[in-house]
């Protein structure tokens, strides 16, 4: 399937800047849509908040002149009407909006009957249900063409990214809504130019349907998100690598995968059987603790268990953070079971 490629500046800064970037992108046939922010959600007040309607006017004129289509973020119902008035048929809900069902509802009301296509960025917080909910609300409002955009999640520990990718959350969305195309926004996940390519290529390996990438004619001078925007040349190089990654050769690959997948299936079954046995033991322990009037949670025992398992995991070459998280989950469930 052909990939959807959306590219363009974080924000419209002037007619010249928009024209420069449009001139280059219009010569790249792989680019499906040009993105350009007109209303910018700033985390703190005082920054550049977008040029608003005059920028839409330029987009209207340049769309006709260069034969391109633009999309931009809408954060209020009025934005939808202004976009429509200026010939923009595709808009996106930003991460802060997707996290706010009241605002999604108001925007859906404005979108009713508009025929517009809508891109839905993941919510800022790592909650797949808010993302699903925004898409469901759009569907209820009759929006037919909906695409999800994975732009990462705001976390206390962002693991070196601007927004932690948490790939399992978009995977959950794809599982729940397999018919909704999924794009990756490596610019807002990475937050820096160097990270854009590895993230985009990871999305390619995960079979995403395309990319939304920030491209600026002169990234060093950008008014917003300067450190993550690519120059047109850098974008060209990225696109080459992204689009020329060979598609998987289905037959031969699946033949080699089958025996390995069979082993994975067997191991998963064993893991679950062992977990069930572990929980059954927890229940027996709970009964004894009750008779002894002994507390369910015993911090010294838990510290010993954790230290022992982390040592074993390290000897086996397993990642420490992963092991700790998994053990905490199992222990949490064991405590829940013991509390009855
Ligand atoms: C953007 O695309 O420029 C933007 C502000 O996105 P997000 O909502 O993902 O932060
Ligand atoms: Mn941006």
Mean pLDDT of the chain: 95
For the record, the structure tokens of 318 come out as 């397993």
CATH number of 250-339: 1.20.59.10
Q: Going by CA atoms, what residue is nearest to atom 4 of ligand 1? A: 94
- Distance (Å, whole) CA 71 – CA 89: 7
Distance in angstroms between the alpha carbons of the first and the last residue of the chain: 51
Rounded to a whole number, what is the largest CA-CA distance in the chain? 82
For tokens 């009964």, what's the residue?
A: 287
246: confidence class by pLDDT, cuts 50, 70, 90 = confident
For the record, the structure tokens of 185 come out as 């926004």
Q: Are 208 and 4 in contact (CB under 8 A)?
A: no
Question: Could you read off the pLDDT of 46-82 as tens digits, one per residue?
Answer: 889 999 999 999 999 999 999 999 999 999 999 999 9
What pTM, to 2 d.p., does this model score?
0.85
Q: Shortest CA distance to 170 belongs to which of 215, 203, 196, 214?
A: 203
Q: At what angle do helices 193-205 and 232-244 cross, to 10 degrees?
A: 20
Mean pLDDT of all residues in 229-234 = 98
CA dihedral sign, ordered 223, 226, 228, 230: positive
For tokens 């974008």, what's the residue?
A: 235
247: confidence class by pLDDT, cuts 50, 70, 90 = low
Q: Are 181 and 187 in contact (CB under 8 A)?
A: no
- Cβ(37) – ligand 1 distance below 6 Å: yes
Superfamily of domain 4-243: Aldolase class I (3.20.20.70)
Instruction: Give, as one character, the DSSP assignment of residue 229.
Output: P
Measured from the Cα of 187, ligand 1's closest atom is 2
Question: Could you read off the pLDDT of 285-338 as tens digits, one per residue?
Answer: 999 999 999 888 888 999 999 999 999 999 999 999 999 999 999 999 999 988
The full set of domain ranges for the chain reads 4-243, 250-339
Q: What is the dihedral of CA 222, 107, 65, 238, to 10 degrees?
A: 50
Residue 246: half-sphere exposure toward Cβ, Cα within 13 Å: 4
For the record, the structure tokens of 50 come out as 């977008």
Q: What is the CA radius of gyration of the chain?
A: 24
Q: Over 80: is that where the pLDDT of 249 sits?
A: no
- Cβ(124) – ligand 1 distance below 6 Å: no
- Cβ(188) – ligand 1 distance below 6 Å: yes
Domain 4-243 and domain 250-339, same fold? Reply is: no
Which residues on adjacent β-strands are paired with residue 251?
none
Q: Going by CA atoms, what residue is nearest to atom 3 of ligand 1? A: 10
Mean pLDDT is lowest, of 23-37, 131-145, 279-293, for: 279-293
- Distance (Å, whole) CA 279 – CA 335: 10
Q: Which residues contact 137 (CB under 8 A, 6 or more apart)?
A: 101, 104, 105, 108
Mean pLDDT is lowest, of 4-13, 19-28, 183-192, 288-297, for: 288-297
Measured from the Cα of 41, ligand 1's closest atom is 5
């Amino acid at each position: 399937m052909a990939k959807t490629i959306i590219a363009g500046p974080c924000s419209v800064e002037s007619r010249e800047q928009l024209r420069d970037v449009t001139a280059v992108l219009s010569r790249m046939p792989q680019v499906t849509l040009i993105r350009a922010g007109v209303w910018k959600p700033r985390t703190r007040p005082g920054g550049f908040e977008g040029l608003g309607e005059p920028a839409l006017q330029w987009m209207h004129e340049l769309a006709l002149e260069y034969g391109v289509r633009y999309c931009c973020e809408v954060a209020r119902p009025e934005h939808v009407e202004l976009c429509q008035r200026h010939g923009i048929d595709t808009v996106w809900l930003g991460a802060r909006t997707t996290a706010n069902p009241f605002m999604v509802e108001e925007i859906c009301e404005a979108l009713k009957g508009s025929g517009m296509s809508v891109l839905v960025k993941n919510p800022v917080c790592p909650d797949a249900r808010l993302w699903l909910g925004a898409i469901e609300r759009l569907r209820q409002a009759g929006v037919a063409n909906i695409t999800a955009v994975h732009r990462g999640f705001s976390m206390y520990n962002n693991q070196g990214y601007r927004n932690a990718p948490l790939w399992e959350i978009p995977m959950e969305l794809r599982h729940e809504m397999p018919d909704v195309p999924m794009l990756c926004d490596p610019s807002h996940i990475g937050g820096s130019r160097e990270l854009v390519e590895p993230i985009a290529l990871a999305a390619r390996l995960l079979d995403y349907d395309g990319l939304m990438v920030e491209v600026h004619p002169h990234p060093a001078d950008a008014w917003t998100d300067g450190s993550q925007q690519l120059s047109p040349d850098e974008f060209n190089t990225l696109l080459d690598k992204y689009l020329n990654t060979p598609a998987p050769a289905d037959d031969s690959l699946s033949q080699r995968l089958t025996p390995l997948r069979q082993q994975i299936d067997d191991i998963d079954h064993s893991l679950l059987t062992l977990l069930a046995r572990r929980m059954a033991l927890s229940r027996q322990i709970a009964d004894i603790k009750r008779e002894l009037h002994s507390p369910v949670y015993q911090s010294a025992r838990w510290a010993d268990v954790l230290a022992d398992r982390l040592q074993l995991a390290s000897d086996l070459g397993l990642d420490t953070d992963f092991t700790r998280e998994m053990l905490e989950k199992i222990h949490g469930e064991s405590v829940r079971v013991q509390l009855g």
